[in-house]
A and B are shown apart, each in its own frame.
Chain A
Amino acid sequence: MSKAPITLLTVLAAAALALSTNLLAQDRPQSLRGATPLTEIPKVGLHQRGPNQGPIPRNYVQQPPLVPHKIEGYQIDMNFNKCMDCHGWSKAKEADATKVSLTHFRDQASGAELANISPARFFCNQCHVPQVAAKPLVGNSFKPIGALARPGRK
């Protein structure tokens, strides 16, 4: 019973707000293309960013960085490693990608530094994994260490 006046008030307030914005907008007409004259081409805004993103911050120091993009159908076999197309040292700059870590040139058994990336590091997605927007099955109270904590980060 007490809800009716509140609803009425809300409707009235909304109508008043709509009317006032309408009146204000009449001063300067707005169209979908904005205020750009017909003789000019409106500036295009930033491209929409897809589900892919830039590098994802690490949660702990030794964490293998996550793959922030799709890797579906990427060939990684004895003939070819698709990841190297962008993340190899000779390709990374042109592709604007993160290059393979320097640590991957070390032979883990002997500790020797190799001229090529160590064959033990061939299968990238053994450690580097892509992400999906899935609801976690269980709660997680993990917090990054102080060295990686940044203001505004949960």
Chain B
Amino acid sequence: MAEERMGLIGRLWAMLLRVGPWTAIGLFVGGIVVWGGFNWTLELTNTETFCISCHEMKENVFKEYRLTSHYQNRTGVRATCPDCHVPKEWIFKVARKIQATNELWHHFLGTIDTREKFQAKRAELAQHEWDRMKANDSRECRNCHAFEYMDYGKQERRANTAHPKGFDDAKTCIDCHKGIAHRRPPTEQNIGAPKKAALLNPR
């Protein structure tokens, strides 16, 4: 009866007296170690080095990404895998990390452990990323590219025509900028023989 009226701080104080100061300090330090360790691991798995430690990433998507301007460019400012593929905000990041355990599972299953298997699945995997970016309004692009700060005067002819138009039509980055960091999957484009298992001419 008496404890109910003490409130949160009072009850915590009572609990502390019960377990003793050393246990309390131990719990506090333990908390720091566990939480710090959790975040440390989270950051460790959020690096390019970690991503390309799997050959699926190193031999396929990373190789082709090295030829694009997000890897190497005039100014040397670059994006690494997690910059585009892992959200920056903590809650979204943890959600994506939990989702990514599925990728670990498929790594051990060997779902895309050869070039041929990867090529066969490329359209599906690309579509997942496009859907994710479309759903979150290209949030990861916007960590660096904010259209509010675009200087159309410094953009080239095609860009300074397309950008204001696209924003007016409420388009998001990925609607137009597909395949800027990785190769596009088989796509039906009305050129040559019809493609097998092709995507239907998305923009």
Contact = CB atoms under 8 A, between A and B. Distances in A.
Nearest to B123: A79
B116 to A, nearest CB: 14
B156 A73 contact: no
A27 interface: no
Q: Chain B contact residues (Cβ within 8 angstroms of A): what range?
A: 20 to 34
Given A48-B154, A80-B183, A80-B184, A88 B191 contact: yes
A80 B191 CA distance: 10
A42 B8 CA distance: 60
Interface of B: 67-69, 122, 152-158, 160-162, 179, 183-187, 189-195, 201, 203
Contact of B190 (A52, A88, A96): A88
Interface string A93-119: 001100000000000000000011111
A116 B183 contact: no
A7 to B, nearest CB: 40
Given A75-B184, A91-B203, A80 B179 contact: yes
Contacts of A95: 162
B192 A119 contact: yes
Given A82-B184, A119-B193, 16 more contacts: A47-B153, A50-B156, A52-B156, A54-B157, A69-B157, A73-B69, A75-B184, A79-B187, A79-B195, A80-B183, A85-B203, A90-B190, A116-B190, A116-B193, A117-B192, A119-B191
B203 A49 contact: no
Contact of A121 (B156, B185, B191, B195): B191
Interface in A40-68: 47-54
B160 A47 contact: yes
Contacts of B155: 47, 50
Interface class of chain B by DSSP:
loop
Contact of A79 (B154, B183, B193, B203): B183
Nearest to B157: A52
A73 B190 contact: no
Given A47-B153, A85-B203, A75 B158 contact: no
* Best-buried of A48, A90, A122 by chain B (most CB within 10 Å): A48
Contacts of A89: 190
A129 interface: no
A88 B194 CA distance: 15
A72 to B, nearest CB: 8
Contact of B189 (A49, A51, A80): A80
Nearest to B64: A75
9 smallest CB-CB distances across A and B, nearest first, come from: A50-B156, A119-B192, A80-B184, A117-B191, A84-B189, A79-B186, A52-B157, A52-B156, A47-B160
Given A73-B67, A73-B69, A77-B183, A47 B152 contact: yes
Contact of B192 (A49, A88, A122): A122
A84 B191 contact: yes
Nearest to B198: A79
A81 interface: yes
A48 B184 CA distance: 32
A51 B194 CA distance: 36
Contacts of B179: 75, 80, 82
Contacts of A90: 190, 201
A81 B153 CA distance: 29
Contacts of B185: 79-80
